[in-house]
Amino acid sequence: MTTESKDLVLTARVSPFNAPSLTTNEGNGLKRSPPSRAMDEVVASAPGKVVLFGEHAVVYGHPAIAASIAQRTTVTLRPAEQPGVHMGRTPLDAAQHPHLATMMGHLWDAERGPGLGISVASDVPRGAGLGSSAALAVACATAFRAARGRHVDAATGAWHEGHASDGTEPDLFRGESVDAPKTLEGERVHGEAAVSAEEASLLGHVAEALSQDGRASPMDTLASAYGGLVLLSNRVEDEETWVMRRTMPVEQHERSWELHHLGDLRLNEGLSLVVGHTGINAPTTNMVAGVAERRSTDKGIDEAMNAIGALVHRGLKALMAGDAEAVGRAMTENHLLLRRIGVSHPKLETLVSAALPTSLGAKLTGAGGGGCMIALTRDAKATSEAIELAGGRTWITPLGTQGARLEACPEGGLLRPD
Q: Given CA atoms 340, 344, 347, 349 in this order, what sign does their dihedral have?
A: negative
Work out which of 11, 20, 36, 59 binds ligand PMV, going by CB under 6 A: 59
Min. distance of Cβ 292 from ligand PMV in angstroms? 11
Dihedral (C-alpha) 194, 17, 322, 234: value to the nearest 10 degrees?
-120
Min. distance of Cβ 130 from ligand PMV in angstroms? 7
Q: How many helices (H) and strands (E) does the chain have?
A: 9, 16
Does 208 contact ligand PMV by CB under 6 A? Answer: no
Closer Cβ to ligand PMV, 152 or 341, answer by number: 341
How do the residues of the chain divide into helix, strand and coil, expressed in percent and rounded to 5? 35, 25, 40
Whole-number Cα distances in Å, 130 to 159, 194, 236, 402: 32, 28, 25, 16
Does 367 contact ligand PMV by CB under 6 A? Answer: yes
Binding piece for ligand PMV, criterion CB under 6 A, among 215-223, 316-324, 351-359, 409-417: 215-223
Nearest Cα neighbor of 241 from 250, 251, 228, 253 is: 228
Binding piece for ligand PMV, criterion CB under 6 A, among 212-220, 253-261, 356-364, 387-395: 212-220
Nearest Cα neighbor of 323 from 331, 66, 258 is: 331
Binding piece for ligand PMV, criterion CB under 6 A, among 55-63, 148-156, 245-253, 345-353: 55-63
Min. distance of Cβ 365 from ligand PMV in angstroms? 6
Nearest Cα neighbor of 347 from 319, 387, 320 is: 387
Rg of the Cα trace of the chain?
21
Whole-number Cα distances in Å, 400 to 48, 162, 266, 319: 10, 27, 8, 12
Min. distance of Cβ 275 from ligand PMV in angstroms? 11
Binding piece for ligand PMV, criterion CB under 6 A, among 87-95, 214-222, 309-317, 374-382: 214-222
Touching ligand PMV, residues 286-315 (CB under 6 A): 288
Question: In the complex, which residue's CB is closest to ligand PMV?
Answer: 366
Min. distance of Cβ 30 from ligand PMV in angstroms? 23
Closer Cβ to ligand PMV, 206 or 219, answer by number: 219
Min. distance of Cβ 55 from ligand PMV in angstroms? 4
Nearest Cα neighbor of 122 from 191, 52, 74 is: 74
Dihedral (C-alpha) 21, 26, 27, 29: value to the nearest 10 degrees?
90
Does 58 contact ligand PMV by CB under 6 A? Answer: yes
Binding piece for ligand PMV, criterion CB under 6 A, among 5-13, 147-155, 213-221, 321-329: 213-221
Min. distance of Cβ 363 from ligand PMV in angstroms? 12
**Angle in degrees, 0-180, between the axes of helices 284-297 and 300-321, rounded to the nearest 10:** 120
Does 280 contact ligand PMV by CB under 6 A? Answer: no
Min. distance of Cβ 56 from ligand PMV in angstroms? 5
Touching ligand PMV, residues 111-130 (CB under 6 A): 129
Closer Cβ to ligand PMV, 284 or 334, answer by number: 284
Does 29 contact ligand PMV by CB under 6 A? Answer: no
Does 56 contact ligand PMV by CB under 6 A? Answer: yes
Work out which of 104, 219, 308, 348 binds ligand PMV, going by CB under 6 A: 219
Min. distance of Cβ 70 from ligand PMV in angstroms? 17
Render the burial of 194-226: b for 16+ CB within 10 Å, e for the rest: bbbbbbbbbbbbbbbbbbeeeebbbbbbbbbbb
Q: Which distant-in-sequence residues (6+ apart) come within 8 Å of 28 by Cβ? A: 16, 195, 196, 197, 198
Whole-number Cα distances in Å, 381 to 52, 326, 398: 21, 22, 13
Binding positions for ligand PMV, rule: CB under 6 A: 51, 55-56, 58-59, 129, 217, 219-220, 284, 288, 366-367
